[in-house]
Chains A and B, each alone.
Chain A
Amino acid sequence: KQEVTQIPAALSVPEGENLVLNCSFTDSAIYNLQWFRQDPGKGLTSLLLIQSSQREQTSGRLNASLDKSSGRSTLYIAASQPGDSATYLCAVFKAAGNKLTFGGGTRVLVKP
């Protein structure tokens, strides 16, 4: 059974500091890994999708890496801003089962 873990569960940083969010998964047989952002009371917004054959993906201030062999992904957010405050979720798409399995999320607060 695929398990996805995100540590820490919550993170508070001053504005301008770089954010590092971790995601680990137990089964390396995945098609891809997706990072999402969720604002309070809202749905999920897709941030980055990394295919299993890729090592990283970048979009603006966001960079996500994937190490399939060790079952880890890291989301880096450079020069954090108060508007980055949200919950960040990672999810893996298993090769078997054709569905996303989510971690519990990391709740981020960027203080002005």
Chain B
Amino acid sequence: GAGVSQTPSNKVTEKGKYVELRCDPISGHTALYWYRQSLGQGPEFLIYFQGTGAADDSGLPNDRFFAVRPEGSVSTLKIQRTERGDSAVYLCASSLFARGGTEAFFGQGTRLTVV
């Protein structure tokens, strides 16, 4: 596709359930980033991939959060035992490569609501 695609656009889940959020980056982009944005705040870094490997996962808040990118393209952010505090917009971005800081392009986000 032409841009970064995220699915679903909205997800409502019950506390304690497991959720998966998907990101389809721009074709050919080797770097992929996940961010989380709470209402009225700027996005906060979670994890980034260079190719298939997680190059930096220092932003993941705890071990309930995990992300994969098995073939170096599509990525899935997985959240186990969801809590109400996980409610936020989860944003995905991709760039040509990470080193050197090429332009990052963001998807429309997935709004997660934990009830």
Contacts and interface: CB of A to CB of B under 8 A. Distances in A.
Contact of A97 (B31, B56, B93): B56
A44 B106 contact: yes
A98 interface: yes
B103 A46 contact: yes
A20 to B, nearest CB: 19
Nearest to A89: B42
User: Which size class do B's interface residues fall under?
Assistant: 20 to 34
Contact of A43 (B33, B45, B103, B109): B109
A102 B108 contact: no
Interface stretch (B64-72, B75-83, B94-102): B94-102
Nearest to A48: B103
Nearest to B111: A41
B109 A31 contact: no
B108 A104 contact: no
B104 A103 contact: no
Nearest to A44: B106
